[in-house]
């Protein structure tokens, strides 16, 4: 998994993945780590504030037993959106883990469809 993320966040121009640490001693490679931090959604919020404010619907949820601790990231992302004035969003933590959450899809899709429908364009948004 770390190699796949390295291929996404910190590949060399030739496509070689660069780890953000030395695999032999664990020492952080600060330059590569900074490239990873550039892709942190919470840190990206101020940079893309205008684009985020233009969204008609934002749904964030996470399981309280997520194996990757995404409930913490979801809370941090929601807080960062609030810091730029976005309050009209759905944020929910639910009992569950990272997988087997298909039962949540209909709720998310209904929320998004209602807010993205042509009729919703004419309604004022609560930002």
Give 99-112 as a DSSP string.
Answer: SS-GGGHHHHHHHH
pTM: 0.86
Neighbours of 97 (CB within 10 A): 15
For the chain, the domains span 1-39, 48-127
Q: What is the pLDDT of residues 65-98, one digit of tens each?
A: 999 999 999 999 999 999 999 999 999 999 999 9
Q: What is the pLDDT of residues 14-64, one digit of tens each?
A: 999 999 999 999 999 999 999 999 999 999 999 999 999 999 999 999 999
């Amino acid at each position: 998994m770390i190699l796949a993320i390295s291929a996404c966040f910190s590949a060399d121009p030739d496509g070689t993945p660069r780890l953000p640490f030395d695999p032999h001693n664990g020492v952080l490679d600060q330059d590569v780590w900074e490239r990873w931090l550039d892709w942190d959604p919470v840190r990206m919020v101020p940079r893309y504030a205008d684009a985020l404010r233009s969204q008609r619907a934002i749904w964030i949820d996470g399981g309280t037993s997520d194996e990757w601790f995404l409930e913490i990231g979801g809370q941090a992302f929601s807080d960062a959106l609030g810091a730029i004035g976005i309050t009209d969003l759905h944020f929910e933590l639910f009992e569950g883990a990272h997988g087997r959450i298909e039962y949540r899809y209909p709720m998310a899709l209904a929320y998004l469809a209602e807010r993205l429908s042509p009729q919703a364009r004419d309604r004022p948004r609560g930002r």
